[in-house]
Amino acid sequence: MTDTPLLHVDMDAFYASVALRERPDLVDQPVVVGGSGRGVVLAANYVARRYGIHSALPMARARRLCPQVVVLAPDFDTLTSVSASVMATFREVTPLVESISLDEAFLDVRGAVRRLGPPARIAEQLRSTVHDEHGITCSVGVAASVSVAKLGSRRAKPDGVLVVPPAEVASFLHPLDVGELYGVGEKTRALLHRIGLVTAGDVARTPLEDLQRAVGRHLGHELHHLAWGTDRGELHVGAGPRAVEKSMGAQETFARDSDDRDVIVRELLRLSARVAARMRAAGVAGRTVALTVRFADFTTITRSRTLAEATDVTVEIHGAATGLYDRLALRRTPLRLVGVRVEGLVPRATVHHQLALGEPDRGWAEADRAVDRATRRFGAAAVRPASLV
């Protein structure tokens, strides 16, 4: 039995790396992926990061920091496809995969050690396979607990592996600012700093009862284990082969505020298709469709509708989103942003669709899957709704 059975694999600058597979001429230039105009940066390659550009930065600010930055539009269909392929690569190593997002996952490899060697060797093999088969790089942290493996992959970036044996956990964690601990946000960091707990070592050396009196019983218990690297060592894999996300969504900021219903409904179709494709790639379906609209003054409204049964079908998601938009009765009020989200996701295999009387046994769901097959083979632009051409 190995003492470091958990791997955290994190793709390096995933959105940018996938985009640059098609533009190798830009590899050595500062590149960001995101919306043009008033959008935000979704990802920046490592060249762009040297200029202080990072995700969630307004695009206008990114251009001021680096006037020569190249902006590429995100191709969510390709991103979803690549993510699904990478996750499939992980599951060839072990069925115990906890997917955190499109570009990162935890793996429990204790069952693969006899077949593939120690975890450090498995990490190197995975890194090599991801590069060779998918054309992108990843970094891997190897440890006995989830939080230490996560921090290990962060320290290994880019394109590296870091093993943190149990005997070295304290020396690895204790010099870190408490804000670097996995799951500690800005508010908790500020609270801990105010009471004089600046580093993970400060937290670790504080008696548990004193820590719980200062920050609360539950948070104190969690922080104590994070500071010692003794948080959970088992993965939340879920009922199926992977943990299911609770919701999936997409949104877009218009280049100019729009009150044109045709423009808005077309954008809702594009977003619905993107979300539905991600859901099908992840093997999930959802019953609740949510619409978000943001006005020119940044006022934001969200409305939702629960369907009779869970779906991953583009036309059904789009129909629900359009109905929600029409019921808002905005009366030509310009919108800055629209978004579509499907919530309450469940594994697709658990959804059993019952045909209504007279309903054909093949229809939009089969059409969507035919589109999925075409895009996997010929690229994301191969097939799209006619109104989006």
Cβ count near 85 (within 10 Å):
14
DSSP state letter for 257? E
What SS3 state is found at 354?
A: coil
142 in Cβ contact with 7 (< 8 Å): yes
User: Hey, CA dihedral for 185, 300, 60, 79, is it positive or negative?
Assistant: positive
CA 343 from centroid of its chain's CA atoms: 15
The residue type at 45:
N
d(CA 64, CA 41) in angstroms, rounded, equals: 13
> Is-catalytic flag, 124?
no
* Dihedral pair phi/psi, residue 255, rounded to 5°: -60, -35
The residue type at 372:
D
The answer on whether 12 is annotated among ligand-binding residues is no
Q: What is the CA radius of gyration of the chain?
A: 23
In DSSP terms, which residues pair with 138 in a beta bridge?
11
The answer on whether 361 is annotated among ligand-binding residues is no
18 in Cβ contact with 26 (< 8 Å): no
Catalytic residue, from 22, 92, 98, 104: name it: 104
The residues carrying an active-site annotation are 104
Q: Which residues are annotated as a binding site for Mg(2+)?
A: 10, 103
Q: Which residues are annotated as a binding site?
A: 10, 103
